[in-house]
Chain A
Amino acid sequence: MTCDNEVPVPGAQVPVRRRQFLTFLVAAPVLTVAVPGTAEAVIPTLPQPAEILDLGDVLILAGTPTAGALAVLRVGEDGVVTLELPRAEVGQGITTACAMLVAEELDLPLGQVRVTLADARPELLMNQLTGGSNTMRSVYGPVRQAAAAARARLLAAAARQHGVAVERLSTRDGAVILPDGRPIVYELLTSAAAQLTGTFAAQPKPASEHRLVGTPQSRIDARAMVTGQFKYTLDQDVPGAMPTVVRRPPTINGSVRSVDSAAAKAMPGVLAIGVVPTGVAVVAETFGQAMAARDALKVTWNPGTIDALSDKEIRAKLQAATLPFVVPPLLTQHLDMEFDFAFVSHAPMETNSAIADVRDDRAEIWAGLKSPIVAQQTIAAAIGLPESAVEVHVMQGGGSFGRRLFFDAALEAAQISKALRRPVKLMWDRKDDMRHGRARAASHHKLRATFGLGNVLTFEHRVASVETDFRHGLGEILTATAAKLPVAGNLSFAQTVFLTTCKVPYNFGVVTSLLNEVPLRMHTGSWRSVYSANTRGAEEVLVDQLAKKMGKDPVAFRREFLKTARQRAVLNKVVAEGQWGRSMPQGFAQGIGFHDEYKSCTACLVEIDARDPRNPRVVKAVIAVDVGRPINPRGLEAQMLGGLTDAISTTLRAGLHIDKGLPLEGSFSQFHYARQKDAPLDVRIHVMPATGEPGGAGELGVPAAVGAIANAYSRATGIVPSSFPIIFPVDFEPFPR
């Protein structure tokens, strides 16, 4: 079944059976370079790199050579169509959105489409990375083309079986419709379609004919979730894989010096104990017993890599690393501002976890993985097996927010399984997940704007950040190795990400944004929206202060300086729906923020109750979002809601304090991620009509909301926040190290 638009893929995971068929499509995602138009009465700003080529474009380009092999579609004899998706679902709703694309092209009821997560497929090279808000952007073409080719094949089979021209056939509700109106359900055609040879060129439907795509749909996995039937990594039964935990060092990257395990070994249920590079592993019959034995181990430790560092020293390093401004504050009016952002744990509800079964000649791994290829390649090297002998299964994850770009639990589980010669079910304790897991890097920001005669003349932003670890590369070993190079390795990746994600959406004359990173040997990683939450959040605070200094209303100011009509449309939407400027009681205020990334834009208007400045609550939020083409508006709204809650948390209360080489926070009673009492009582999200191709959505919601909340806080209290989270005491007794 090789034909022009269907190429067989070596190493594909799905066995091709005679009576079902698969399609793999050659796709050619087109890079669209659009230079936005400029407003007239303002001093236009030259396009910044991210306006010409954003990170999503880079990822799509990197994936282009293998895009044809991306979507593996199986049309089964039961009429169920299964898409094997080489991406990670971690709550963002991509399996539902992809099922909608397949159902749309095949004219199938949504309930007849299944989406499974593909195992690591090294032949996809750089095209099995879930990040950069890029899933729907990168799969929108290939998945629809695969489904369109499958439909063409089913039509051809029906044409042959019934002796009619293909042009006289149509499809509806999972059936080919004959000229006389009789439906032939797909399952009756699957076998014949699988045996056809020839070319089945097919174009996906034009968007104007979409009946399902663009309509609000509920999650395809919701029922399993609300009934407790949904299986996450540790809910799987793998024969012989027993509960395993690790005793970890008192400081980040510390290592074991000596272990006395006599008492622990004698405890009930304990099966095995052994030293691994990250600590001491304990396997037991239950997690409760494994944790009890872990706590009974007597371990001495070698120092870690940042033992001498606490927040104070890190902040000083960041301030010292902040690059200078170009424009001196002479002759013109100017506004300078500085901001600090704390480290923030990713803290997905499902802690870092993995199952590993390593044998002498093969290994099998199960984990939530956003970069499974580099995981497979790294694990193979670490346990001394050829890559082809390591099977890596991607499990749906209980949250990620960037965390599962790293496969440290999978690697650690494989090392434990090899060392103890038994399959293991590894779970990180919450304390370890917060203290030894990944975090958003702390950053320091200096901004300067100069202005005169009603215009902004220059705008400069200097970001100094603790290094954000990009050593997962683009998801495979080559770019991951490049990111590890000692000279400019990670930093060049970081610069690329910074320059391809962060852009000032305003005509502020001469704009320069520069990043400098302080490499500290600790565990960081991209956190939902990477640099943008802090970088753009800080800019939105400055914009409000600049408007004030120039005697303008924050909304009128943004309207004047935003670059495009599309950007102004989302702003106008929240202004109208959220009744900007309505009178509020003392201690309450509105605040506004705007953000544009990955070909999408959003505005957020919040109302805050800050009658007690130490105990503020965002009580209402109005959001407008334009993603170019919403696939599933209901899912998009969920993403914006999540971004809003992330912004509420990280702006007001949630962060990590670093104390002598370790975060103090060790659980949700200490790391103050928002709870229901912190969440708005009213949230309204307006999805703008489709205008083009899908843009990014997963991370979009955070930065605008950070700005809106900080601005509302300062309007309500008169205190302009300069350090985030705003309310950040150590209000707990830290767990022992």
Chain B
Amino acid sequence: MPTYTMIVNGKPVTVEAPADMALLWVLRDKLGVRGPKFGCGIGVCRACTSHLNGAEIQPCVTPVAECSGQEVTTIEGLASGDDLHPVQEAWLEQDVAQCGYCQPGQIMAAAALLRTKQEITDEDIDRIANVCRCGTYFRIRQAIKSAAAKM
């Protein structure tokens, strides 16, 4: 079985896995990184959303081989130590989470968006297609706007 080395949340890791294994299972089952959640396995609910070199990916449909030598950031790696990322701070301020299960993915999607764009419009936020089954969308919208204003 091939081995892959990558940077996960700032630390180099090496795993042995089939080339086509989804990154989600490498993270969750091999590395014990459980922040990214399974919700669909086909990249449509986006609960697992994380970053590859700072850009949004869905680890449930990203083969591990594609991440070799790259930088993977999950929700656990978004904050700098105890200092939360502005998006996480905004999430607390707006008390967004209900069941919380989709929120790591929502936050990572918002953080990726705010990395590429400072002026956020409602249309930008509408394009975030992560499902929140508790229906917290309006608070998510407010939190993203609040984070954007502070960044």
Smallest CB separation, A622 vs chain B (Å): 12
Q: Of B18, B99, B127, which one neighbours A348 at CB under 8 angstroms?
A: B99
- Whether A93 touches B34, Cβ cut-off 8 Å, given contacts A268-B1, A667-B42, A676-B126, is no
Q: Does A171 contact B (CB under 8 A)?
A: no
Within 8 A of A (CB), among B102-131: 102-104, 107, 122, 125-131
Q: Does A16 contact B (CB under 8 A)?
A: no
Q: Are B139 and A291 closer than 8 Å at their CB atoms? A: no
Q: Does B74 contact A (CB under 8 A)?
A: yes
Q: Are A673 and B133 closer than 8 Å at their CB atoms? A: yes
**Which chain A residue has the least Cβ–Cβ distance from B75?**
A228
**Which chain B residue has the least Cβ–Cβ distance from A735?**
B42
**Which chain A residue has the least Cβ–Cβ distance from B1?**
A268
Q: Are B42 and A91 closer than 8 Å at their CB atoms? A: no
Smallest CB separation, B4 vs chain A (Å): 14
Q: Are A226 and B34 closer than 8 Å at their CB atoms? A: no
Give Cα distance in the complex from A221 to B91, angstroms: 12
Q: Does B95 contact A (CB under 8 A)?
A: yes
Smallest CB separation, B35 vs chain A (Å): 3
Give Cα distance in the complex from A677 to B124, angstroms: 10
**Which chain B residue has the least Cβ–Cβ distance from A89?**
B99
Q: Does A645 contact B (CB under 8 A)?
A: yes
Smallest CB separation, B147 vs chain A (Å): 12
**Which chain B residue has the least Cβ–Cβ distance from A224?**
B100
Smallest CB separation, B21 vs chain A (Å): 5
Spot the interface stretch: A63-71, A138-146, A396-404, A447-455: A396-404
Q: Are A347 and B133 closer than 8 Å at their CB atoms? A: yes
Q: Are A232 and B40 closer than 8 Å at their CB atoms? A: no
Smallest CB separation, B2 vs chain A (Å): 12
Smallest CB separation, A221 vs chain B (Å): 7
Within 8 A of B (CB), among A185-224: 218-219, 221-223
Q: Are B133 and A287 closer than 8 Å at their CB atoms? A: no
Q: Are A667 and B40 closer than 8 Å at their CB atoms? A: yes
**Which chain A residue has the least Cβ–Cβ distance from B144?**
A676
Q: Are B45 and A350 closer than 8 Å at their CB atoms? A: no
Q: Are B40 and A676 closer than 8 Å at their CB atoms? A: no
Give Cα distance in the complex from A226 to B102, angstroms: 10
- Whether A677 touches B103, Cβ cut-off 8 Å, given contacts A641-B138, A683-B138, is no
Q: Of A223, A429, A669, which one neighbours B44 at CB under 8 angstroms?
A: A669
Q: Are A225 and B38 closer than 8 Å at their CB atoms? A: no
Q: Are B21 and A288 closer than 8 Å at their CB atoms? A: yes
Q: Does A679 contact B (CB under 8 A)?
A: yes
Within 8 A of B (CB), among A275-290: 285-289
**Which chain B residue has the least Cβ–Cβ distance from A227?**
B79
Q: Are A675 and B95 closer than 8 Å at their CB atoms? A: no
Give Cα distance in the complex from A649 to B130, angstroms: 15
- Whether A673 touches B99, Cβ cut-off 8 Å, given contacts A286-B30, A641-B136, A679-B137, is no
Within 8 A of A (CB), among B16-69: 18, 21-22, 24-26, 28-30, 32, 34-42, 44-45, 47
- Whether A398 touches B21, Cβ cut-off 8 Å, given contacts A638-B136, A641-B135, A681-B141, is no
Which of B79, B101, B133 gathers most chain A CB within 10 Å?
B133
Q: What chain A residues lie within 8 Å of B139 (beta carbons)?
A: 638, 641
Q: Does A229 contact B (CB under 8 A)?
A: yes
Q: What chain B residues lie within 8 Å of A218 (beta carbons)?
A: 92, 95
Q: Are B126 and A642 closer than 8 Å at their CB atoms? A: no
Give Cα distance in the complex from A607 to B122, angstroms: 17
Q: What chain A residues lie within 8 Å of B29 (beta carbons)?
A: 243, 285-288
Q: Does B8 contact A (CB under 8 A)?
A: no
Smallest CB separation, A45 vs chain B (Å): 33
Q: Does B134 contact A (CB under 8 A)?
A: yes
Smallest CB separation, B72 vs chain A (Å): 13
Q: Of A230, A231, A638, which one neighbours B95 at CB under 8 angstroms?
A: A638
Smallest CB separation, A422 vs chain B (Å): 16
Q: Are A90 and B136 closer than 8 Å at their CB atoms? A: no
**Which chain B residue has the least Cβ–Cβ distance from A429?**
B41
Q: Are B25 and A288 closer than 8 Å at their CB atoms? A: yes
Q: Are B44 and A676 closer than 8 Å at their CB atoms? A: no
- Whether A223 touches B101, Cβ cut-off 8 Å, given contacts A642-B136, A667-B45, is no
Q: What chain A residues lie within 8 Å of B133 (beta carbons)?
A: 347-349, 399, 401, 673
Q: Of B24, B36, B99, B137, which one neighbours A398 at CB under 8 angstroms?
A: B99
Q: Are B131 and A668 closer than 8 Å at their CB atoms? A: yes
Q: Looking at chain A's contact residues, is the secondary structure mostly helix, strand, loop, or mixed?
A: loop
Q: What chain B residues lie within 8 Å of A429 (beta carbons)?
A: 41
Q: Does A235 contact B (CB under 8 A)?
A: yes
Q: Are B91 and A349 closer than 8 Å at their CB atoms? A: no
Smallest CB separation, A224 vs chain B (Å): 8
Smallest CB separation, A233 vs chain B (Å): 11
Give Cα distance in the complex from A536 to B30, angstroms: 49
Q: Are B45 and A219 closer than 8 Å at their CB atoms? A: no
Q: What chain A residues lie within 8 Å of B103 (beta carbons)?
A: 225-226
Q: Does B84 contact A (CB under 8 A)?
A: yes
**Which chain B residue has the least Cβ–Cβ distance from A617?**
B126
Q: Are B129 and A676 closer than 8 Å at their CB atoms? A: yes
Residues 618-645 of A, flagged 1 when their CB comes within 8 A of B and 0 if not, give 0000000000000000100010011111
Q: Are A226 and B91 closer than 8 Å at their CB atoms? A: yes
Q: Are B131 and A225 closer than 8 Å at their CB atoms? A: no
Q: Are A397 and B99 closer than 8 Å at their CB atoms? A: yes
Q: Are B132 and A226 closer than 8 Å at their CB atoms? A: no
Q: What chain A residues lie within 8 Å of B135 (beta carbons)?
A: 641-646, 648-649, 674, 679
Q: Are B35 and A91 closer than 8 Å at their CB atoms? A: no
Q: Are A350 and B101 closer than 8 Å at their CB atoms? A: yes
Q: What chain A residues lie within 8 Å of B91 (beta carbons)?
A: 222, 226
Q: What chain A residues lie within 8 Å of B21 (beta carbons)?
A: 286, 288-289
Q: What chain A residues lie within 8 Å of B102 (beta carbons)?
A: 349, 398
**Which chain A residue has the least Cβ–Cβ distance from B94?**
A218
Q: What chain A residues lie within 8 Å of B140 (beta carbons)?
A: 676
Q: Are B129 and A221 closer than 8 Å at their CB atoms? A: no
Give Cα distance in the complex from A286 to B99, angstroms: 25
Q: Are B41 and A350 closer than 8 Å at their CB atoms? A: no
Q: What chain A residues lie within 8 Å of B134 (beta carbons)?
A: 91, 349, 399, 638, 642, 645
Smallest CB separation, A637 vs chain B (Å): 9
Q: Are B98 and A91 closer than 8 Å at their CB atoms? A: yes
Q: Are A634 and B95 closer than 8 Å at their CB atoms? A: yes
Give Cα distance in the complex from A521 to B96, angstroms: 38
**Which chain B residue has the least Cβ–Cβ distance from A237?**
B32
Q: List, sorted by A's number, 23 A–B pairs whose CB atoms are closer than 8 Å.
A: A225-B104, A226-B75, A226-B104, A227-B78, A228-B34, A231-B34, A286-B28, A288-B21, A350-B37, A398-B37, A398-B99, A634-B95, A642-B98, A642-B136, A644-B135, A668-B131, A675-B129, A675-B130, A675-B137, A676-B128, A676-B137, A676-B140, A677-B127
In the A-B complex, the 6 residue pairs with the smallest Cβ-Cβ separation, listed nearest first, are A645-B135, A228-B35, A91-B99, A398-B101, A228-B75, A679-B137
- Add 9 more A-B contacts to A226-B75, A642-B98 (CB < 8 A): A92-B98, A227-B75, A243-B29, A287-B28, A398-B99, A399-B133, A638-B136, A677-B126, A682-B138
